[in-house]
Each structure stands twice: as C-alpha cells, then as structure tokens.
Structure 1
C-alpha cells in the first residue's frame, strides 16, 4: 500500500532527491560557501519543479540536468561574488567544514554533507578563489567531477576547446601552489606542537614552527573583531597570536579536522568562536586561516 510521502507515488522524486549530495558537493567547491551552495541547490530544484510533468519526463537524466542547471547558477553567482567581496568587511576566507562526526546538531543530514577530500582543503579552495569564474567551473567540473569538456562547454557557454584551455590554466595555478604531500599524521603532529606553543605563549617555539614567510589571515566579516589585513612573517604572526591570546582569557583550543585536514577550533564558554585551517609545507606552517565570522561557523 502506498502512503503519503512514499517515493513510489512519484518515481522521479527519489531519483532527483538522490542527487542532492552531489549537487551540494559541486556547489560548495565552486562557491566556497555551504550557505550559498544550499541556496544554489534549492534554486536548481525549484527550476526542476517549475517544469511540466511532460517536460520532466522528456529529460533522459534528471541528475545530469540538475548538475547542469546548478553549474550555470554557480557561474552566475561567481560572477556577482566579486562585487560582493569588494564590499565585504576585511578578508574573505571560504567557509570551513567540520569532520562528519562533529557536524552540529540539526545539520546532520547526510545529503547536506560535503565529501572531504583534497579538493576541499582550505589551501585548495583559496587557490580556486584566485581563478576566474569560467576557469573555476571548467576545472572543478572536469578535473574533480570528471565531466567531459563537451558537457562542460554547455554549462560554461564556451567551446570544448576553450574549456580545455580554461581547465589547463586552472591546473597550472593549482600545481604552482601545491606543497609537497605530507601525511595526515605528520600534519597532526605539527598542529599539536603549534597548539602547545600557542597555549604556552611561547614566541620562539611558534616562530620555529612557522615558515619565515608565513601568512595569517582572519575573517570576521565585520561582525566580530579580526585582523583587517594579512599578517606576514613568522615573528609578526607569532607575536600577534600571543597578543590575541591574552584578549580572550579562558578560551579553549581544540584539535579538530577542518576541511579534511588537521586544524584547530577555539571555543569560549563552550561556543565555537573561531575555526583555524593551517597550510603546511616542508614541516612548517605556511598559512594560518582563521574564520571568526559567526555566519560561517553554523556547522560547528
């Protein structure tokens, strides 16, 4: 017997809803924001349901149709994002994601979770931010989601050859920025030592763990205090970290997985006030990304 909500009442329903996670994964990688990714997916489904039943039945692969629509929406969002970023207060950092086991209560739907792999590390997302919208979409669709260039071309609105060049240009950017691969265990050891040195306010130890040209960036979104500009240099960054540690007494620094990599979470009275992702190369910390904007800390 069929009951209300039973997918058998609408055979296409379960098929298109099963695509939700794939759509979220695509949109997050393209936009660097889970909130924006959710909006894109909602809009893609809205467009699907705006079709007549006859139009829906004429679509051979609803999943492919939804991915194409979501890709185009993301391209439009990326085009307007640059203007929005110009009015953003302070530095902008992609929204950090927790390990699935630490997803906050009320945000535990598997369909809303992003697969954590090398294409969502903070370092990777930051490089994606430096690309043009077309480069980013062509690269992510082809190199991450394995879409053929003929299909990428339909989404980007350029020829397959042009999309191939866009992806190649993006690939060179990624290669130029990639640090030598390090094991998760070795990264975790460095993060642990960094945490200890920070808690002890040990400036020499912090400097020893930081690359001489280490860069610290904080994102408060104008909603909380954060460094308005990047802090460059191991000593400058170490001294800044020790200074701000005195401003927030009673805080707790926790080792957590951030975008699939060892990172840190700062809590004040049990509430997450910052999520920190770290770029590591040759045994030293090269980048310190601190997200303090509360709107980007919802999953935490």
Structure 2
C-alpha cells in the first residue's frame, strides 16, 4: 500500500485492484488535506510533502480502530504540518529578500466559496504568518474547516479548554489584521484592470487613483530573480517605481488569472510566467501588492489546483 500518493487521477480502478478502503478514504479527502496543509504552511511544495507523509502514516493505520476517517486524516496532516513549520521557519530566516506565500492557480469553484477564497487569499496567508504555529493550526482548523475543539485538541496535543483559549486569541489577532471588509471578485477585477492600464501606460496619476495612501509593495525573488529586497510603502513611492518600469513591463504580456481564489495578474515573458501579482484591497483601494518572481514558487501556476473545505 505504501508508495506514491494516490489521487483520483493515478488511482487504479477498483475492479483492477480490489477493495481498498484506506486508499478510497485518502482520495476522498486528499484535496481537503492539501488545503489544510497549504493554509498552515503557505507553501504548496511543503503541503505536497505533508500529503506524502500523511499517506505513509495512514497506510499503516488499522482502520477498524478509526471512528472518523476525515478527522483522523486531518489530525495526521496537522501534526505533520506543525512539524514542517519549524523547518520552514528556519528556511525563511536565511531567505534572500521578502518571503511571500507560494501562489496557486485555483479552480473557479474556489471563488464561489467566499470563506474558502478569503482563507487562501495572499492577504490572509500573510496575516496567518503573524501567528505562532499552534495558533495558526487552531485558527485554520476551527475558523476555516469548522473542526471540533476536541478533535483539534488531539491534533495539537492540547486540552480542549486550552484550544478554546488559543482559538479566541488567534481570532482576535487575525481580526485586527485581516482586510476590513469582504471584497468581491468583481471589485478585485475592477481594481486590477485600473492598475494594469496605469502600469502599462506609465500613468502615475492613474496609479495614485487606485493605490491606498499606505499601500505596500512586496517582491519575492528568493535570490534567484531580481526583486525588491525590502517592501516599498506609500502610494507616491510605489506609483513612481511602477511607472519607471513601464519599458520593461511593456515587453511582457500582462494577463488576468485566478490566483488563490481571487483575480490576479500574471506577467509572461516569451510565453512563460515571470511574475504573479496578487493584491489586497480595502475599501476599494489597493493596500497590498504582492509580486512573486521566485521560479521555485511558480510551479503550481501551470495547472489549476483544487482546494476543498
């Protein structure tokens, strides 16, 4: 049973392999487990590793002792994610420049689930980065996936009472930092279209009209591609910087895409994705611009990733 991670695409048909409840259960919850791991890690590559580790452990479980397969699988994935968070934290300490979550090209149904789309948005993932590992796990499991406190307690090795306190603390922390209102995909598309037109024409005033006064531009090249080493803050500075790059951007194709549940932009050079630009919008204005250029973080932009709650 141990081997490559099974999914709906590579699983052997039942009539050819015989009954395999463990494989069937894993396939059923695979997208959910990936989503849990991705929201905890902000890295699709690490989330895939967590899936592999979860499968290896699940393959050795006696299913007769499992009361709730979904809860059991989520518990394994959560523990593996918490362990990997420590490794990821060490990598971030030596990362060149700003670190941004790995963008995902998402399927249209993700945008239809407003709560799921918000939870995987670039803006929310950056808010989750400000939580301690256990706080992040508790918040994700409780507020995004509605996992019971008793089940979360088992996953994070805390008492249910402690988990309730952690959940409350994390909720207050996130509420103070998340976007101030629900932004619809239509609003995001409108802001991005205005932003795209202004960038392509080098229109400083057009940029100032769509950028919030306290907008922050963050670039992630990972030391592999040229990018801002430090965030740039303030509408004037960001507008002048983007307008000054009109010539370079004009040589690229700036196209819309659906990234992490929301409309975004991709810059293509010679047909290949060079940069993914996601935004945070508050009260109709762009307050955050997140440009991911590190090629190691763009592999999940080749095909849509299915996310589930």
TM above 0.5, yes or no, is: yes
1:213, distance to aligned residue in structure 2 (A) = 0.9
1:72, distance to aligned residue in structure 2 (A) = 0.5
What CA RMSD, in Å, does the superposition of the two structures yield over aligned residues?
2.2
Q: 1:192 is matched with which residue?
A: 193
Q: 2:40 is matched with which residue?
A: 30
1:189, distance to aligned residue in structure 2 (A) = 1.1
Q: 2:138 is matched with which residue?
A: 138
Structure 2 spans left out of the alignment, 5+ residues:
1-11, 109-114, 302-309
Q: Distance in 2 between matches of 1:158 and 1:4?
A: 39
Q: Distance in 2 between matches of 1:7 and 1:31?
A: 34
Rate the CA distance shift 1:188–1:248 in 2: closer, same or farther, 3 A. closer
Q: Does 1:72 align with 2:79?
A: yes
1:182, distance to aligned residue in structure 2 (A) = 3.1
Counting only pairs closer than 5 Å after superposition, residues 256-295 of structure 1 correspond to structure 2 as: 256-295=257-296
Contact 2:275 2:292 in 1 (8 A): yes
1:117, distance to aligned residue in structure 2 (A) = 1.7
Q: Does 1:297 align with 2:265?
A: no
Q: Distance in 1 between matches of 2:14 and 2:28?
A: 19
Q: 1:156 is matched with which residue?
A: 156
SS in 1 for 2:229: coil
Contact 2:39 2:125 in 1 (8 A): yes
1:7, distance to aligned residue in structure 2 (A) = 5.3
TM-score (norm 2): 0.86
Structure 1 spans left out of the alignment, 5+ residues:
102-114
Contact 1:48 1:56 in 2 (8 A): no
TM-score (norm 1): 0.89
SS in 2 for 1:279: strand
Task: Say which is worse superposed, 38-47 or 61-70, in terms of deviation.
Answer: 61-70
Rate the CA distance shift 1:249–1:194 in 2: closer, same or farther, 3 A. closer
Contact 2:34 2:51 in 1 (8 A): yes
Counting only pairs closer than 5 Å after superposition, residues 213-224 of structure 1 correspond to structure 2 as: 213-224=214-225
After the TM superposition, which parts of structure 1 deviate over 6 Å for at least 4 consecutive aligned residues?
Answer: 2-5
